[in-house]
A and B are shown apart, each in its own frame.
Chain A
């Protein structure tokens, strides 16, 4: 590729990636923008005042609800996914192919089907419209991703360090904290990020199991899109996308960037 063409290609790519965000930012700061003007006639922070002032309590509650749900899902998904990934990455055992296919199956089946099936059962168990119920349904889809990432991490992991620590008198807890965790930390971060982001962007499963009681940000965003207030919907979208951006910056800074490939 010629250098000039290469520059043009890079510019086209960067524009198509960044344009949607630019549009959202401009719209969130517009107060009067009539058709067919290309640029807002009047700028202002009305939308931002609305989401942090007038509707502040509701939006903040949604933000916190989303954060708590996604963090809890990520923590539980790691607690279950790390041991499973270790078993798959380090050892060969009977039925491994079958078990691994089963553990990966939720990746291809849409959350919609499972959430609809679980709903009635969760009502009977008293889990519908509860925080735990929503975390459990998110977990179904996040867990395979953590297992998959940790599987890869542990297949490049050398457990001989653990036996050395053991021969030096370390107890199992110390081995986990001082040997295994430091060695696998970047992978654990990626697995946690996958789960966090996946749970963060769930809409329908939260709506079905949460039944409108657990109002995460995507649920508020859908309600706002229905109301037709574009600047406010744009501002909430920007708040909604912020953790994703932070996660990407974090991965580029601390995890060497490319490790986030494969997140969906």
Chain B
């Protein structure tokens, strides 16, 4: 088992090292001005539009809104948002939806990746179909979910035909429901190919040698998965999961269309306040948006620290 661990560990560091930069390291860099010319347009866009957007948002949420006669700066709006009992409910709902979408999508993706790996690369049709969700806008799938899962949707009709229920009233709420089933299903449908393809490219690169070594050492199926496959895929699986979590935590369209009216998910709540006719609610909307961004950044940093600490303690991840 020990040999196996070192072998898979070296492969893992291999996968984590940015493959990107091998070219850059071997090449003498041109002067500072040449590089500055190439990179400054991009930096200007990010600093001015992205940084500017967040910065100006922060100023507005601190209460500086001259048009509405607000001129002093304070954290009042942030306290108002955090102190609102609806905030905690929205936060819990948002965390629940984002975490369960990510977890379900990740679990299915691992199975899918191993399954697709077992297919020959020649089965192009199945690979093509599998990639379709990648390019489809979230909104289209959310609309299709309404048609399938609404009380008068396709699923409800099938169940009535089967004689399990006799009217749409007896059909459980799957859209605009308490448990966010429609939202989670939309995200899972959309994100599985994304995570799977991230894992699959690593699996294809890693080859079968390690698994064969595992088999020779009499490791059973579960051991081979736990100590060979999982360590190989975990860096890219983790990265994919973080991206999916960040997206599902902060996206507006799907929960707006498929969510319930109360409690709302945080992004919907933020926009509701922002677009309120009462201009005084606007800073609170922006503050909520910044809190969403803050939670995402903290979650990503925290999960990185956690995995690092776990690895240092010798946990095979």
Residues of A within 8 A of B (CB): 1, 6, 9-10, 13-14, 16-21, 23-24, 27, 35-38, 79-81, 83-84, 86-93, 99, 102-103, 105-110, 112-118, 120-121, 136-137, 139-140, 143-144, 147, 151-152, 154-157, 159, 197, 200-201, 203-204, 208, 218, 221-222, 225, 230, 233-234, 237, 240-241, 244-245, 247-248, 252, 257-258, 260-264
A126 to chain B, nearest CB (A): 16
Q: Among B46, B112, B267, point to the contact of A106 (Cβ < 8 A).
A: B46
Q: Which of A14, A109, A241, A258 has a CB less than 8 Å from the CB of B250?
A: A109
Contacting pair B45 A117 (CB below 8 A): no
Produce 1/0 per residue, B206-247, CB < 8 A to A: 000000000000000000000000000000000000110011
Q: Does B129 contact A (CB under 8 A)?
A: yes
Contact B52 A155 (CB under 8 A): no
Cβ contacts A to B, 12 pairs, < 8 Å: A18-B132, A20-B144, A21-B144, A38-B161, A110-B246, A116-B57, A117-B55, A221-B139, A248-B135, A257-B127, A258-B127, A263-B134
Q: List A contacts of B132 (CB < 8 A).
A: 17-18, 245, 248
A9 partner, pick from B47, B115, B129, B148, beta carbons under 8 A: B115
Indicate if the CB atoms of A38 and B157 lie closer than 8 Å: yes
- The contact of A121 among B43, B56, B156, by CB within 8 Å, is B56
Closest 8 CB pairs of A and B: A117-B57, A110-B250, A201-B137, A20-B144, A114-B53, A84-B42, A261-B197, A244-B135
Give the contacting residue for A84; candidates B23, B38, B54, B300; CB below 8 A. Answer: B38
Interface status of B58 (Cβ within 8 A of chain A): yes
- 5 additional contacts, CB 8 Å, given A108-B296, A112-B270, A116-B57? A114-B57, A140-B45, A244-B137, A252-B131, A261-B200
Known contacts A17-B130, A147-B42; A109 and B27 CB within 8 A of each other: no
Whether B194 sits at the interface, judged by CB under 8 Å, is: yes
Chain A residues with Cβ under 8 A from B130's Cβ? 13, 17
A90–B23 touching, CB < 8 Å: yes
In B254-291, the 8 Å CB interface with A consists of: 257, 267, 270-271, 274, 285-286, 289-290
A103 in contact with B46 (CB, 8 Å): yes
Chain B 115-136 per-residue mask, 1 if CB under 8 angstroms from chain A, else 0? 1001100011011111111111
Interface presence of B293 (CB below 8 A) = yes
A1 touches B115 (CB 8 A): yes
Q: Which residues of chain A come closer than 8 Å to B249, judged between CB atoms?
A: 110
Taking Cβ atoms with an 8 Å cutoff, the residues of B that contact A are: 19-25, 27, 29-30, 32, 35, 37-39, 41-43, 45-47, 49-50, 52-58, 60, 112, 115, 118-119, 123-124, 126-141, 143-148, 152, 154, 156-158, 160-161, 168, 189, 194, 197-198, 200-201, 242-243, 246-247, 249-253, 257, 267, 270-271, 274, 285-286, 289-290, 292-293, 296-297, 300
- Please judge, given known A-B contacts A91-B24, A117-B54, A230-B147, whether A204 and B38 are in contact too, CB under 8 Å: no
In the complex, which residues of chain B have a beta carbon less than 8 angstroms from the beta carbon of A36? 152, 156-157, 160-161, 168
In angstroms, Cα B50 to Cα A101, docked, is 13
Q: Is the CB of B289 within 8 A of A112?
A: yes
Which residues from B are CB-within-8-Å of A108? 242-243, 246, 296-297, 300
Contact B23 A154 (CB under 8 A): yes
Q: Report A-chain residues with C-beta under 8 Å of the C-beta of B129.
A: 13-14, 17-18
Assess A106 versus B131: contact at CB under 8 Å? Given A89-B24, A155-B23.
Answer: no
B247 touches A264 (CB 8 A): yes
Bound state CA distance, A262 and B217, in angstroms? 36
Chain A residue numbers with a CB within 8 Å of B200 are 261
**Pairwise interchain contact B252-A112, C-beta atoms closer than 8 A:** yes
Tell me which residues across on chain A come within 8 A of B156, comparing CB atoms: 35-36
Please measure, in the bound complex, the distance between the C-alpha atom of A9 and the C-alpha atom of B126, giving whole angstroms.
Answer: 11
**CB of A190, distance to nearest CB on chain B (Å):** 12
Among A99, A107, A113, A136, the residue within 8 A (CB) of B39 is A99
Q: Could you tell me if A262 and B115 are in contact, using CB atoms closer than 8 angstroms?
A: no
A241 / chain B contacts, CB cutoff of 8 Å: 136-137, 140
Q: Is the CB of A90 within 8 A of B24?
A: yes
